Every structure is written in C-alpha cells, then in structure tokens.
Amino acid sequence: MATPVLRVENIVKRFVTGSASITAVDHVSFTVAQGEVLAIIGPSGCGKSTLFNVIGGLAGSDEGRVIVEGRTLSGPDPAIGMVFQEESTFPWRTVADNVAFPLEVAGVARTERLKRVHHYLELVGLKGFEQHHPAQLSGGMRQRVAIARTLAFGPKVLLMDEPFAALDEQTRLLLGDKVLQIQQALAQTTLLITHSIAEAVQLSDRVLVMTYRPGRVKRIVDIKLPRPRTAEIIGSKDFGLYVAEIWNDLRDEASLGMKDAEAKLPQAE
C-alpha cells in the first residue's frame, strides 16, 4: 500500500462519571492509505462514535495523536471532512446553499463557490435539485446533500459515522453504490464507521474490528473483493465468506455488549 494519509496513534479516551473512570477507547492505532476505504466496525458501546469525534477534532483525547500527511491535528481541521449519522442538512438553506456552506465559512469567492457546488451536486446525482429545500427531499437525498457538502470542503480524509443509519435497507444499498462510485471517482481516502457488517464489506478495502468496552483494535481484515464494485457484490460467495469471518470476530464482542445491557434492566421477582 502507498504511504498513509491518515495515521491514528494510540488514541485513549476516558470518561469520568462520579468517582469512576471508564476507558471508552483504549490505545487505538491504525493508518489509512491514499485512496483507501477503511471501515471501523464494532458493537454498540465500543467507542466508535467517541473515536469519530476524536478523529474529527470535535472531542479531545487523553492520549495519542491524529496525523494527516505528517501534520498532527488539533481540533477540527480542513484535512478531515465529517459526515454525521443524524439528519444534518440546514432546513432553512436550499440544497445548493447547504453545499456552499463550508465554502462560505472558508471565505471562498462566489464564482468559485458556484462552480464547486455544481460539481459536487452533479457527483452525488442531485443535479436539478439546487433550489429545493431539504424538506422537499427524501432521507437518502438529504444524506447525499450532506456528503456533497462535506466533499465540497475538500478534505484529505472523508470521515463518516454510520451515514446510512437513518435510512431503509434498499436506500442504504443504493446509497452505498453511490458512495462507492464517488469514492472511486475522487480516489477519496475514506474512514467509515459502521455497525453493519454488510456495509463494511461492501464499501471498504479493510475492516477494523473493535472490541466491546474498552474499545481496542481486535483485528484488521483485508477485503480482497474486486474494484470497481457495485451493490451486486453482496450476492457473491466471497462477500458471504467475509461477512461470516467478520461476524465470527464480532460475535463475542456483541454478546458481551448484550449481557451488559441486559444486566442494567430491572429484574422481575
């Protein structure tokens, strides 16, 4: 693989609740190469979202560093573009103005702004919807607006936190296709955080499996499926084998998480 664009080194994040200190993320390290898609997968409560916030610079870490192209980041940085799992378009802005937002903030001139907005809207397949408001679009289209907005920011690394979580299965597969297309067209270095094994295998070159609490790197699986890929890949035998292999790794972690959750429920007499 080529030289890493993103290097995550020994990230540790603890939360203090009262007198107890809980380690959410425990010495997590990995790299993502130029043009590569790395998926991070783990059970709920493994610290995936914490890791997302730390890498995106929205939260600090107790130890460790996030390095992009040799530069250690502190706080939100133009090198990293975040896509959130929640509905995150600005309802009062049109589609075009949503995508223009990061450019306005960065002080990009109007003509250049319009050019880039046009380019990225075309890329995500929303040409012709420039003047619509988010309320007039479907959930999948809104998430594409959010992706176009983040890409317009021109990040070295696209960082996505369960970007399809709020969508139905079919929309999710189609949007996955779209993301593959875009990623391949831009050779966009991407870090995808997800809890869906199928999504991780469908989209990525490598899948990093995390342990349940504290979140550590359990294993990294190379996905040697051909590229360019489409959603058709989910019917292939290799796809099934990868999903089974990752589930094997994930099962123990997920059941630990489930036991924890059940222990917290009130017991019947």
Partner 1 sequence: MAAEGLMISRVALLRLAIIASTLLFWEALAESGLLFRDVVPSLFKIAHALGHLGANADFYANLSATAVEVGVSLAIGGSVGVAVGLLLGGSRLMGRAFEPYIHYLGPTPKIIFFPVMIMWFGIGPGSKIAMGAISCFFPVALITAAGMRQIDQVLIRVGRSFRASTWQMVTKIYFPALRHPLLNGLRLGFGVSVIGVLLAETKLSNRGLGFMVMQSYSQFDMPGMYALLLVVFSLAIMVNSLVSQLGGLEVPNH
133 binds partner 1, rule: CB under 8 A = yes
Which CB atom, from 88 or from 181, has the smaller least distance to partner 1?
88
Long-range CB contact pairs, 227-233, < 8 A, 24+: 227/184, 228/180, 228/181, 228/184, 229/180, 229/202, 230/177, 230/180, 231/173, 231/174, 231/176, 231/177, 231/202, 233/202
Per the structure block, which two tokens stand in for 13?
């994040």
101 binds partner 1, rule: CB under 8 A = yes
Q: In whole angstroms, how close is the CB of 131 to partner 1 at the nearest point?
A: 11
Long-range CB contact pairs, 113-119, < 8 A, 24+: 116/152, 117/152
134 binds partner 1, rule: CB under 8 A = yes
Q: Which of 86, 226, 265, 266 binds partner 1 (CB under 8 A)?
A: 86
Which CB atom, from 57 or from 257, has the smaller least distance to partner 1?
57
Q: In whole angstroms, how close is the CB of 149 to partner 1 at the nearest point?
A: 8
35 binds partner 1, rule: CB under 8 A = no
Specify the residue for token string 């589930």: 247
Per the structure block, which two tokens stand in for 184?
């391949």
Which CB atom, from 135 or from 263, has the smaller least distance to partner 1?
135
Q: In whole angstroms, how close is the CB of 240 to partner 1 at the nearest point?
A: 35
**Measured CA distances, 142 to 52, 148, 259 (Å):** 21, 10, 36
Q: Cα dihedral sign for 172, 173, 175, 176?
A: positive
Which range binds partner 1 by CB under 8 A, 17-25, 76-84, 184-192, 214-222? 76-84
154 binds partner 1, rule: CB under 8 A = no
Q: Which of 88, 171, 181, 184 binds partner 1 (CB under 8 A)?
A: 88
47 binds partner 1, rule: CB under 8 A = no
Give the whole-angstrom CA distance, residue 170 versus residue 173.
Answer: 5
* Greatest C-alpha distance within the chain: 69
User: Applying CB under 8 A, which residues contact partner 1?
Assistant: 56-58, 76-78, 81-82, 84, 86-88, 90-93, 101-102, 104-106, 133-136, 153
